[in-house]
Amino acid sequence: MKLSNTEKWWRNAVLWEFCELDRTHDNAVNNEELARFVRSLKVLEHCIQPFLDHCDTDNDNKISSDEWGTCLGLDKEDTTFLKTFCSQ
């Protein structure tokens, strides 16, 4: 499937943000790493935590790259790519 320029931009933004949040490079974003992100969105606090809780499907207080991809609508190929994208 050929992506439009807007779709490519959106996908790349989703990939980049996960990598920025994953400071330990373990393909998961823990509560401490998310805290920085949440603080930057303080004005949206009432909706951010429910969103993050929704993404953490296994309730381990981490959002794995698979959970991130699923939550933000990436397809399986992009989610697989995410795992290598962040480690570069």
Q: What's the whole-model pTM score? A: 0.55
* Domain assignment present for 20: no
pLDDT of residue 60: 93
Residue 76 belongs to a domain: yes
pLDDT of residue 57: 95
Confirm whether 6 is domain-assigned: no
**Residue 59 domain-assigned (yes or no):** yes
User: Residue 77 belongs to what domain range?
Assistant: 31-88
d(CA 83, CA 52): 19
Packing angle, helices 5-21 and 31-40, rounded to 10:
120
Residue 71 lies in a domain: yes
Examine residue 1 and state whether it is found in any structural domain, yes or no.
Answer: no
In the chain, the number of structural domains is 1
In a domain, 41, yes or no: yes
Closest by CA to 14, choosing from 50, 67, 58, is 67
Mean pLDDT, the chain cut into blocks of 10 residues (88 residues total) = 62 82 87 79 72 91 88 83 72
pLDDT at 45: 66
Does residue 50 form part of some domain? yes
